[in-house]
Structures are given as C-alpha cells and as structure tokens.
Structure 1
Amino acid sequence: MFYLKMFFQYVAQYIKVRLQYRTDLLVEFLSDLLFQGVNLVFILIVFGHTKLLSGWSQYEIIFIYGFFLVPFAIFSSFFNIWDFNDRYIVKGEMDRILTRPIHSLFQIILERIELESLLGVVTGIAVMLYSGGKLGIGLHWYDPFLFILFAIGGALVYGGIFIIMAAIGFWSDAKTSIMPMMYNIGNYGRYPVNIYNTVIRFVLTWILPFAFVGVYPASYFLGKEEWYGYAFMTPVIGILFITLSVFLWNKGVKRYRGAGN
C-alpha cells in the first residue's frame, strides 16, 4: 500500500507539471504520431513491391505493428531509463536516490515516467482494429483479457531487458552504454521472426526476446496456431526477465560505492 500510494503521488505531481506546459505536451503527442506514421509508411512501401512477406500479408504485418505499439507504449511510459549510466552513475545522482527509505529502482522509474507515451496504446489499438477489420478477425469474450495479459507481459519483457542493461552500469561506469543499440534491436520484434535467419530468430526468442513483445502474442489473434505456444509464454517470459532484472539490480546496488573524485 505504501508503494501504491507513492506511485499515485508521483503521477499526480507529474500531471501537474506537464499541464503547465500544454504546448510542449501537444508537440510531443504530434511527434509520436508522426513517428508511428513513418513506420506504417515503411510497411506500405515494402508491400508496394510484394504481396506477401514470408507468407505474411500486408494487413497481418500492420496488425503485428499495432500490437507492438501497446506494450512498447507501456514500456516507454514507465521504464524510461535509457540514460541511467550518465545521469545516475557518472553524475552521482544515485547517491541521492539511496538516501531515501524506498527501493532505488522504484524511485528511478517514478522519476522518469512519461505518461504521454501511453498515447501509443490508443494508436496501437486503433491500428489493430483497422487491420483486424480488413482481415475479418473475430474475437471471443476472453480475448480482451488475453490481450491485456499479453500486452503487460510484453512490456515486462522490454522493461526487464532494459533494466538489465541499466544494471550493468554498476559494474561499468562508462558514460556511453549499449542502450541505443538495444533500442534498435528491439525494433526487430515488430516484424515476424520467420523473415530472419535462424540465428537472429533464436536471439529474438531466447536471448533478447523482443519477439514476445510483438509477433508472438499478436500471432494468437491472427490465428497462427503453430505459434500459440509462444503467445501464451509471453507473460511467463515477461515475469522471468523482470525478476532477473530486479535481482541483478539489487546485486549492482550493493556493489555501488557512490560518486567521488
């Protein structure tokens, strides 16, 4: 209850601050929509030269992209720790975090929330509804609950991977990190893994399981029965990676010795 109360207090303060700069907030909304629109245009350009991509149709690819936007939006809202090394390790802000009687990772997540990124959830659902309508996808009464479960599982996969990347900073205090490269690799999860070679497919499934953010859970709603097992593994992989990330984070915090000359 204490952590829940702290969460809502942080969110309330964040909303107050953001509403003081409404124009800036509107510009961020528009820039996010433009970015998502560019990705859709890329998919349309690809299918302007072919009707199928490794057996996937244009609207199936668009549906996967729409699903990907939902867990990615949740991740972007609550796991915005891409500059952890530079800000908290190199510049010493971790010292401030550790003086407070609350878990350090929880504090950092709340300090860096960007709730405006949740607009991606609306955009993703809209894209899914559009492409799903074109594909004639039918829904069962339990599908919305599975969708929420898969979306949260995908967000935990993304969050877990990036917390692990951030935790590496406790062992390496270099200003630069591999976060930008990891963001680029994560984009591969928005496309069907069978368009890649065997090595990349293995990496995206078991090493850096970004496929569980997009294509695997989306395949359930697309009726790809051969991938149902992977789809239902999404929340399991999410819990596994977020648990591993918190474990490594706690180990790293114990190793941290503070900023100094």
Structure 2
Amino acid sequence: MTYFSVFFQYVGQYMKTRLTYRVDLLIEILSDLLFQAVNLIFILVVFGHTQLLSGWSRDEIIFIYGFFLVPFAIFTSFFNIWDFNERYIVKGEMDRILTRPVHSLFQVILERMELESLFGALTGIAVMIYAGSHLDLTFAWYDPFVFIVMVLGGSLVYAGIFILLASIGFWSDARTSIMPMMYNIGNYGRYPVNIYNKVIRYILTWILPFAFVGVYPSAYFLNREEWYMYSFLTPFVGIGFFLFAVFMWNIGVTKYRGAGN
C-alpha cells in the first residue's frame, strides 16, 4: 500500500506541475500526435505501390501499428528512462535516490513520468477501430480482457529491454548510450516479422523481442492462426523480461560507486 500511496502522490504533483504550463503540455501532445500521423502516412505511401506485403494487407498492417501504439504509449509514460545514464550515473543523482526507503527503480520511474504520452494509446485504439472496420473483424466478449493482457505484456517487453539497457550504466559510467539506437530498433516491431530475413526475425522474437509489442499480439485479433502460439506467449515474455531486468537492476545497484571520488 505504501507504493500505491507514493505513486498517486507523485501523479498528483506531476499533474499540478504540467497544468501550470498548459500551452506547453498541449504542444507536446500535438507533436506526439503529429509524429504518429507521419508514421501512419508512411504505411499508406508504401501501400500506394503494392496491395500486399508478405501476405499482409494494408489494413492489417495499419491495425498492427495501432495496436503497437497502445503498449508503446504506456511504456513512454512510465518508463521514460532514456537519459538514465547521463542524469543518474554521470551527474550522480543516483546518490539521492539511494538515500530513500523506496526501491530505486520505482523512484526513477516516478521521476521520469510523462503521462501526456498516454494520449498515444487513444490514437492507437482509434487506428485499430478504423482498420478493424475495414477488415470486418468480429470480437468475442472476452477479447477486451485479452487485449488488456496483451497490451500489458507488450509494455513489459519494452520496459524490460530498456531497464536492462539502463542497468548497464551501473557498470559503465560513460556518457554515450545505445538507448537511441534501441528506440530505432524497436520500430521494427510495428511491422510483420516475416517481411524480414530469418536473422532479424529471430532477434526480434527472442533476443530483443519487440515483435511481442506489435505484430504477435495483433495476430490474435487479426485471426492469424499461424501466429497464435506467439500471441499467447506475449504476457509470459513480457513478465519474464521485466523480472529479469529488475533482477539485473538490483545487481547493478550493488555495483554503483557513487558520484564522489
């Protein structure tokens, strides 16, 4: 209960801070929506020259992109730790974090929240509804619950990967980071993995499992039975990667040397 209380206190303070500068908040939301629109336009341009992409139609890929936006929005809202190495290791703010009686990762997550990114989830759902209406998809009564489980699984996949990357900073305090490159690699999860060669497909499934953020869970709702096994693995892969990442974080904290000499 202590963690829930701390969480809602942080959220309350965050909202007060953000609403103080409403125009800045609105501009950030609009810029995120514009970025998502550009990616959607890219898909439309690609399908202006072809009807199918490795057996996937335009509306199916739009549906996958819409699904991808939902777990990605949750990830960017609560696990926005791309500058962890620079801010907490190099500049020594981790010293402050470790003086408090709350788990260090929990504190870092709360301090880096960007709740306005949750609007991306609404965009993703809207895109899915648009694509689903063109695909004449039908859903069972339990599919909304499956959707929530799949989304949480995809969010944990993203969170686990980037927590692992952040943990590297405990062993290496260099200013350089592979976070930006990993963000770009994560974009491959927006598209069906069978459009890539076998090596990339394997990496996106078992090494850096970004495919479990978009295409694999989407395959369940698109009635792609050949991908069902991967669809149902989504929550397990997400939980597994996240727990492993937290485990490595806890080990990394014990290796942290502090900002002093």
- Shorter-chain TM range is over 0.9
Kindly state the Cα deviation for residue 68 of structure 1 after the two structures are TM-superposed: 0.1
CA distance in 1, matches of 2:250, 2:120: 31
CA distance in 2, matches of 1:23, 1:182: 31
Kindly state the Cα deviation for residue 189 of structure 1 after the two structures are TM-superposed: 0.2
Kindly state the Cα deviation for residue 260 of structure 1 after the two structures are TM-superposed: 1.8
**Structure 2 match to 1:136:** 136
Kindly state the Cα deviation for residue 183 of structure 1 after the two structures are TM-superposed: 0.2
CA distance in 2, matches of 1:164, 1:189: 18
Runs (4+) of structure 1 exceeding 6 A deviation are none
Q: 1:255 is aligned with what amino acid?
A: K
What SS does the aligned partner of 1:173 have? coil
Q: How many residues align?
A: 261
Q: CA RMSD in A?
A: 0.4
What SS does the aligned partner of 1:118 have? helix
CA distance in 2, matches of 1:236, 1:104: 25
Q: Which runs of 5+ in 2 are unaligned?
A: none
Kindly state the Cα deviation for residue 226 of structure 1 after the two structures are TM-superposed: 0.6
**Structure 2 match to 1:258:** 258
Q: Deviations over 1:153-175 (max 9, x none)?
A: 00000000000000000011000
Please show how residues 76-155 of structure 1 align to structure 2 within 5 Å.
76-155=76-155
CA distance in 1, matches of 2:219, 2:28: 31
**Structure 2 match to 1:221:** 221
Q: Deviations over 1:202-254 (max 9, x none)?
A: 00000000000000000000000010110010000000000000000000000
CA distance in 2, matches of 1:136, 1:28: 34
What SS does the aligned partner of 1:238 have? helix
**Structure 1 match to 2:60:** 60
- Is residue 163 of structure 2 the alignment partner of residue 166 of structure 1? no
**Structure 2 match to 1:37:** 37
Q: Which runs of 5+ in 1 are unaligned?
A: none
CA distance in 2, matches of 1:174, 1:37: 35
Kindly state the Cα deviation for residue 30 of structure 1 after the two structures are TM-superposed: 0.6
**Structure 2 match to 1:181:** 181
CA distance in 1, matches of 2:144, 2:102: 34
**Structure 2 match to 1:206:** 206
CA distance in 2, matches of 1:140, 1:155: 23
Percent identity between matched residues is 75
CA distance in 1, matches of 2:248, 2:150: 24
Kindly state the Cα deviation for residue 18 of structure 1 after the two structures are TM-superposed: 0.4
What SS does the aligned partner of 2:41 have? helix
CA distance in 2, matches of 1:137, 1:21: 42
Kindly state the Cα deviation for residue 140 of structure 1 after the two structures are TM-superposed: 0.3
Q: 1:223 is aligned with what amino acid?
A: N
CA distance in 1, matches of 2:250, 2:187: 28
